[in-house]
């Protein structure tokens, strides 16, 4: 393991988030395929801290499992601290220090509702804090409209003296445009001591973490602010309008990364790429495409338009058009779509084809095999270079159990074949159009199951007289001179 940065990061996620108007705790809402909480823990892990602490409180029965899931994903310990009552940000940080008592390194505090914050920015704050030998460094923002934020108050010498909340600010202080992002670096010892000095003599009757600045300064420590380059990175998510805006901004990043990695994206505005998606070089993505989960698009593949793939692996040069797919694998040079539905555990071999109006599930289709038109293929294994006729159904369900169909290499099955599972079709076998295959077909055999066609001459004119069909039949007969 690479050397840890001598710091602890405390991520605050205890708040109620009432403005989301949701049964789901605020930080569990997702953008880019990842919860807000997970984004913040990933960013914190990005600086490789000695300790990572999540402060939970409100709806923690929901939040704790997500903390544990992310810890597993990050393959590191994430300590949990419970803030029983939400008595303010100062109280939340005090809770966050409980699992790391008397920690003397740098303590960084971030919020779980700022999903766009990058590890690089946390690192820059840490570096500025360390370089200045400061006791407290606040990550500040310069905003055109500072309403609602705590204002960074400086003296005539330009030194930071305190942070004043909107509700406690004088008219003059409200004019200040430099504000508190809610992200801080503290000297651990100074922080532990200052937290014992906080009080609730303020407009909200809460313990404010922001008061630590004035306390530290009063006690002779250096207090500073590090101005963030891009205030958009610290945009908080408090309601669904902000959630959508943050999602859009995050997507801009993932789409841009794909383009800079060598993918052509025809319309970045209508292309959505989740945070864990991997996209190769010379991939082309057409409009209205969404790629989620652990989707992997290999070099030279063409995806979309109108395609949504979740946890799908697409091989080199494959083409996937107007397709909905989930937990499936598409081989190199294979083609899928248009209007194809890949359900979980579809595996399409190299150069294979799943064509229009085909639905597949739990089906392995060998190299060069084609299921071109209007077919349901479920619980099946198809060999190589086989062609499944149009409008076939793999009848896999008897109403109680699912059964498997196995089809060999180089088969040619007729249109409208029903494979009533469990059934096996040997290599090189054929089936006739309309065959209901209920028994195994040996290699090289032709299976047909049809009665001789009956033709009843003159039936329409006799049984449906006066109809357009009867009139057409009569004209045809007259033309033939009958
Ligand atoms: C806080 C800052 C303000 C800053 C703003 C940036 C204080 C007093 N004010 O204001 O200066 O400009 O953030 O967004 O710190 N939380 C807890 N437990 C609590 C209270 C809050 O975990 O008891 C968490 C919340 O879930 C949230 C964060 O702390 O993630 C900030 O709390 P919030 O109440 O939103 O603070 P603001 O009023 O926005
Ligand atoms: Ca807030």
Q: Distance between CA atoms of 206 and 209, rounded to whole angstroms?
A: 9
The domain made up of 240-447 is a member of CATH 2.160.10.10: yes
Distance 148 CA to ligand 2 centre (A): 9
Q: What is the pLDDT of residues 373-404, one digit of tens each?
A: 999 999 999 999 999 999 999 999 999 999 99
pLDDT in tens, 411-439: 999 999 999 999 999 999 999 999 999 99
Phi, psi of 264, rounded to the nearest 5 degrees: -95, 120
Condensed to tens digits (0 to 9), the pLDDT of residues 447-471 reads 998 778 899 999 999 999 999 999 9
The distance from CA 83 to its chain's CA centroid, rounded to whole angstroms, is 29
Residues 7 and 47: beta-carbon distance below 8 Å: yes
Distance CA 293, CA 278 (A): 10
Residue 160, number of CB atoms within 10 A of its CB? 22
Nearest CA to ligand 1 atom 37: 149
Q: Are strands 160-164 and 106-111 parallel, antiparallel or unpaired?
A: unpaired
Counting beta carbons within 10 angstroms of the beta carbon of residue 8, is it exposed (0 to 12), middle (13 to 18) or buried (19 or more)?
A: buried
Residue 4 C-alpha to ligand 1 middle, in angstroms? 28
**Among all ligands shown, which has an atom nearest to the Cα of 11?**
1
Query: What is the pairing mode between strands 34-35 and 79-82?
Result: unpaired
**E strand or H helix at 379, and its extent?**
strand 370-382
pLDDT tens per residue, range 12-39 = 999 989 999 999 999 999 999 999 999 9
Give Cβ neighbours of residue 443 (< 8 Å, ≥ 6 apart).
408, 426, 427, 428, 429
Nearest-CA residue for atom 35 of ligand 1: 15
Closest ligand to 83 CA?
Answer: 1
What is the atom index within ligand 1 of the atom nearest the CA of 92? Answer: 18
> How much is the average pLDDT of 67-89?
97
Looking at 373, 403, 404, 410, which residue is catalytic?
373
DSSP label at 59? B
Instruction: Record the tokens describing residue 370, joined without a space.
Output: 């084609």
How many Å apart are CA 201 and CA 207, to the nearest integer? 8
- Specify the residue with its C-alpha closest to ligand 1, atom 1: 182
Ligand-binding site membership of 13 (annotated): yes
Going by alpha carbons, the residue nearest to atom 26 of ligand 1 is 15
Each residue's pLDDT tens digit, 150-167: 999 999 999 999 999 999
Closest CA to 105 of 26, 186, 46: 186
The Cα 250–Cα 103 span in angstroms is 34
Centre of ligand 2 to C-alpha 72, Å, is 28
CA of 243 to the centre of ligand 2 (A): 13
Specify the pLDDT at position 72.
98
- Which two structure tokens, joined as six digits, stand for 18? 């009432």
Q: Are 30 and 249 in contact (CB under 8 A)?
A: no
pLDDT in tens, 308-348: 999 999 999 999 999 999 999 999 999 999 999 999 999 99
Helices and strands (DSSP H and E) totals, the chain:
10, 35
| CA 255 to each of CA 30, 268, 291: distance values in angstroms, whole numbers, following the listed order | 17, 6, 10
For 327: left if phi > 0, alpha if psi spans -120 to 50, otherwise beta; the answer is left
The whole-chain average pLDDT of the chain stands at: 97
Q: Is-contact 349 334, C-beta < 8 A?
A: yes
Give the number of the atom of ligand 1 that is nearest the alpha carbon of residue 55.
22
Tell me how far apart the alpha carbons of residues 157 and 142 are, in angstroms, rounded to a whole number: 19
The hierarchical CATH code for the domain 7-234 is 3.90.550.10
Closest ligand 1 atom to 57 CA: 22
**Cα(189) to centroid(ligand 1), Å:** 22
Euclidean distance between CA atoms 377 and 417, whole angstroms: 11
What share of the chain in percent tops pLDDT 90? 97
- Distance (angstroms) between ligand 1 centre and the Cα of 124 equals 22
Task: Using the atom order of ligand 1, give the atom closest to the CA of residue 238.
Answer: 35
Question: Is residue 397 a known part of a binding site?
Answer: yes
Q: Is 430 annotated as a binding-site member? A: no
Where exactly are the structural domains of the chain? Answer: 7-234, 240-447
pLDDT digits (tens, 9 = 90+) for 85-112: 999 999 999 999 999 999 999 999 999 9
HSE toward the beta carbon, residue 226, CA cutoff 13 A: 24
The two beta strands, 160-164 and 223-227, are: unpaired
Q: Do 240-447 and 7-234 fall under one CATH topology?
A: no
d(Cα 218, Cα 225) in Å, to the nearest integer?
A: 16
C-alpha 163/C-alpha 89 separation (Å) is: 13
Identify which ligand lies nearest to the alpha carbon of 112.
Answer: 1
What is the helix (H) or strand (E) element at residue 272, kind and residue range? strand 271-273
- The reply to whether 22 sits in an annotated binding site is no
From CA 446, how far away is CA 432, in angstroms rounded?
7
Distance from the CA of 143 to the center of ligand 1, in angstroms? 18
Alpha-carbon distance of 142 to 440, in angstroms, equals 75
State the average pLDDT over residues 287-310.
Answer: 98
- Show the ligand 1 pocket: residues with CB < 6 angstroms: 12, 14-15, 55, 83, 86-89, 91-92, 111-113, 149-150, 163, 165, 179-182, 208-210, 236
Which tokens hold the place of 101?
């008592």
Atom of ligand 1 nearest to the CA of 26: 26
Catalytic site residue 373? yes
Residue identified by tokens 């989960």 is: 293
pLDDT at 482: 67
DSSP-assigned letters across all residues of 190-201: HHHHHHTT----
Assess whether pLDDT exceeds 70 at residue 1: no
Q: Which ligand ends up closest to the CA of 40?
A: 1
pLDDT score recorded for residue 450: 74
Closest ligand 1 atom to the C-alpha of 163?
Answer: 11
Instruction: Consult the annotation and say whether 264 binds a ligand.
Output: no
Residue 343 in marked binding region: yes
Query: Which of 37, 89, 112 maximizes ligand 1 atoms within 8 Å of its Cβ, making it the mutation to test the pocket?
Result: 89
Write out pLDDT tens, residues 39-56: 999 999 999 999 999 999
Q: What mean pLDDT do residues 231-239 have?
A: 95
User: What mean pLDDT do residues 47-75 have?
Assistant: 98
Burial (0-12, 13-18, 19+ Cβ within 10 Å), 442: middle
Residue 87 annotated as part of some ligand binding site:
no
């Amino acid at each position: 393991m690479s050397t840890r940065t001598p710091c602890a990061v405390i991520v605050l996620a205890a708040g109620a988030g009432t403005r989301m108007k949701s049964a789901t705790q605020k930080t569990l809402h997702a953008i880019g395929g990842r919860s807000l909480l997970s984004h913040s823990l990933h960013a914190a892990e990005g600086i490789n801290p000695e300790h990572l602490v999540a402060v939970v409180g409100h709806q923690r029965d929901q939040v704790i499992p997500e903390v544990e899931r992310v810890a597993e994903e990050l393959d590191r310990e994430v300590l949990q601290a419970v803030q029983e009552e939400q008595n303010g940000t100062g109280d939340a940080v005090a809770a966050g220090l409980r699992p790391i008592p008397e920690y003397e390194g740098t303590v960084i505090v971030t919020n779980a509702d700022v999903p766009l914050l990058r590890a690089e920015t946390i690192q820059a704050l840490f570096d500025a804090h360390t370089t200045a030998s400061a006791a407290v460094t606040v990550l500040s923002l310069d905003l055109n409209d500072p309403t609602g934020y705590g204002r960074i108050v400086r003296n005539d010498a330009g030194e930071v003296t305190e942070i004043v909340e909107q509700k406690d600010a004088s008219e003059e202080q409200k004019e200040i445009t430099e504000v508190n992002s809610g992200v801080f670096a503290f000297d651990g010892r100074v922080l532990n001591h200052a937290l014992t000095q906080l009080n609730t003599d303020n407009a909200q009757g809460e313990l404010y973490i922001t008061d630590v600045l004035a306390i530290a300064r009063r006690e002779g420590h250096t207090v500073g602010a590090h101005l963030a380059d891009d205030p958009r990175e610290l945009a908080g998510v408090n309601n669904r309008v902000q959630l959508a805006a943050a999602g859009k901004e995050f997507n801009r990043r993932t789409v841009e990364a794909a383009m800079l990695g060598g993918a052509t994206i025809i319309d970045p505005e209508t292309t959505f790429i989740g945070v864990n998606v991997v996209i190769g070089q010379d991939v082309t993505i057409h409009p209205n495409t969404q790629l989620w989960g652990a989707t992997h698009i290999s070099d030279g593949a063409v995806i979309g338009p109108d395609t949504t793939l979740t946890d799908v692996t697409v091989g080199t040069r494959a083409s996937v058009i107007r397709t909905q797919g989930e937990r499936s694998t598409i081989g190199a040079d294979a083609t899928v779509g248009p209007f194809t539905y890949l359900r979980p555990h579809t595996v399409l071999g190299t150069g294979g084809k799943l064509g229009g109006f085909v639905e597949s599930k739990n089906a392995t289709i060998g190299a060069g095999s084609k299921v071109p038109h209007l077919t349901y293929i479920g619980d099946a294994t198809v060999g190589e270079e086989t062609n499944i006729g149009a409008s076939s159904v793999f009848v896999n369900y008897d109403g109680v159990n699912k059964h498997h169909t196995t089809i060999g290499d180089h088969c040619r099955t007729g249109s409208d074949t029903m494979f009533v599972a469990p059934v096996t079709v040997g290599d090189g076998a054929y089936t006739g159009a309309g065959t209901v295959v209920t028994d195994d077909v040996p290699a090289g055999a032709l299976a047909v199951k049809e009665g001789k066609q009956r033709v009843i001459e003159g039936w329409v004119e006799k049984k449906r007289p006066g109809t357009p069909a009867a009139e057409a039949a009569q004209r045809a007969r007259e033309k033939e001179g009958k």
